[in-house]
Structure 1
Amino acid sequence: MKVMRLCILLMAMSMLPSMIAKKHWAYDAHATFYGDMSGAETMKGACGYGDLFKDGYGLRTAALSTALFEDGAACGACYEIECVNSPKWCAPRRRISITATNFCPPNPALPNDAGGWCNPPRKHFDLSMPMFVEITKDYHAGIVPVRYRRVPCFKRGGVRFELKGNPHFLLVLVYNVAGAGDVRAVRVKGERTEWMWMQRNWGQNWHLHGQPQLVGQALSFRVTVSKHRSVSSDNVAPAHWQFGQTVEGKQF
């Protein structure tokens, strides 16, 4: 019995390094920056979040290259990033956590080593300048090699739904999502309807076409993220909701 216990203990100890490595394992990529330290040129657009300060994302953001963006499915995902393998430029033991809020478009006219850093198949993060200088010694570094990994998102308040469109076309921006952060499916339900699947329109804007009966009904939303977790916010929009209104539901 003692021999068996010893064998089990030795097996567990031999597995420990690989378990630790798996927990801290990260992918390789590159990073650069846009704008200046003021954040005046904070990028917005491809995910639909609009005013990144008003919407709670601020400067802790990045635009992702094609290989990471997933046609908008990665919008809202959070990443931990550190500069590596460049002693001249990397600030040692410095990491940042950012939210994906935009797309860094490829430039087919340029090779990858001459400015085409967002070209497929490269994995690249275009950071706000304040985030870039947190992991580098100087912004003159320009482009640095990094390691990254997905991490949970931490947000204040609940998931937010911005109601847009018209009586025949409901468009909903889903943002401020904690946990996995990246929304992979959305369903909507009126007081007198069943659950209906919405389609990704662009970024994290989701639409439902040809459902005028939803106007005048309280709306419920069910959001699913990449970790296959779903949260339902029942009757989060009151029956008198208006286009242009933002409502707040439950959080992950």
Structure 2
Amino acid sequence: MASSSSFSSSWALALLLLTMAMVRVDARMSPSGWSLAHATFYGDESASDTMGGACGYGNLFNSGYGTNTVALSTTLFSNGYACGSCYQIRCFGSPHCYRGYPFATVTATNLCPPNWSEDSNNGGWCNPPRTHFDMSKPAFMKIADWKAGIVPVMYRRVPCIKNGGVRFSFQGNGYWLLVYVTNVGGGGDIGSMWVKGSKTGWISMSHNWGATYQAFATLGGQSLSFKITSYTTRETIISWDVAPSNWNAGLTYQASTNFA
């Protein structure tokens, strides 16, 4: 397999053409410029191996992400703050790329961990400081022949376009609330989060792991509102009275609001 440097002139030209052809997206977050990386895939066509993952989204069909998902290398994952972010990925510079260079739009739902037993250029694809995408097989098959195994790609961050409000899945109890946050639009990611009971002020929630946040507070018997700030765009939304006063762990509550 050739290295990224062997494609330098072609990549530069493609970057210029694709940047000039960037489409307009109706969202406050604008697409980023194109950058270079490589992509592999994991699992099979059913994408069953992508369920769960380091972001805490659980069953990706139930949470709305489906098979258009990707695991990020450590450099991109940002200790879980990149969970929910969206990317367009396009194969380029390989005979295994599909004609016309179609792109796949995917959501980050998992971490591709380092494999220090392998060289970063020969098996240890997700070793820092490499920028790498380990895609679900159905997503990879949109851009290249899966038999390639690994292909050079161009990628860019794009706004996440989601239907409906942000979803809050509860775990814990009346004294400790752990919330899994899904279906986030705009930047797709979460940098900060607060909860407000009907009898409290705003309480800052700490980042637990992936896309989960927690609050050690007495919140049982109160209706709950949430405030979220995007890690990328710093936009903030407030979702009032998301959960009723008789809320329960194990249930998911959907807000009426979302990011642009």
In the other structure, the counterpart of 1:67 is 75
Kindly report the root-mean-square deviation, in angstroms, between the aligned alpha carbons of the 2 structures. 1.6
**Which is greater in Rg?**
1
Aligned counterparts, 1:1-252, within 5 A: 20=20, 25-86=33-94, 88-91=95-98, 92-136=100-144, 138-209=145-216, 211-212=217-218, 214-225=219-230, 226-249=232-255, 250-252=257-259
> Alpha-carbon deviation of 1:168?
2.3
Opposite residue 179 of structure 2, the aligned amino acid is V
Opposite residue 222 of structure 2, the aligned amino acid is Q
> Alpha-carbon deviation of 1:25?
2.5
CA contact (8 A) 1:31 1:124 kept: yes
> Alpha-carbon deviation of 1:163?
1.1
Opposite residue 144 of structure 1, the aligned amino acid is V
Take 1:208 and 1:178, find their aligned partners in 2: how far apart are those partners?
A: 23
CA contact (8 A) 2:39 2:132 kept: yes
Take 1:24 and 1:108, find their aligned partners in 2: how far apart are those partners?
A: 31
> Alpha-carbon deviation of 1:24?
6.8
> Alpha-carbon deviation of 1:109?
1.3
Structure 1, 167-176 or 62-71: larger mean CA deviation: 167-176
CA contact (8 A) 1:43 1:102 kept: no
Could you state the TM-score of these two structures normalised by the residue count of structure 1? 0.88
Superimposed CA distance per residue, residues 54-105 of structure 1 (whole angstroms, 9 cap, x where no aligned partner): 000010000000010000000000000001111x111133111000000000
Take 1:50 and 1:24, find their aligned partners in 2: how far apart are those partners?
A: 28
> Alpha-carbon deviation of 1:20?
3.8
Superimposed CA distance per residue, residues 193-249 of structure 1 (whole angstroms, 9 cap, x where no aligned partner): 11111011000110012x12x110110000111201111111111111111111111
In the other structure, the counterpart of 1:12 is none
SS of structure 2 residue aligned to 1:134: coil
Opposite residue 171 of structure 1, the aligned amino acid is L
In the other structure, the counterpart of 2:6 is none
Unpaired segments of 5 or more residues in structure 2?
1-16, 23-30
Take 1:39 and 1:193, find their aligned partners in 2: how far apart are those partners?
A: 42
Is the alpha carbon distance of 1:24 and 1:76 closer, same or farther for their aligned partners in structure 2, counting shifts above 3 Å? closer
SS of structure 2 residue aligned to 1:131: helix
Take 1:167 and 1:119, find their aligned partners in 2: how far apart are those partners?
A: 41
Take 2:174 and 2:184, find their aligned partners in 1: how far apart are those partners?
A: 26
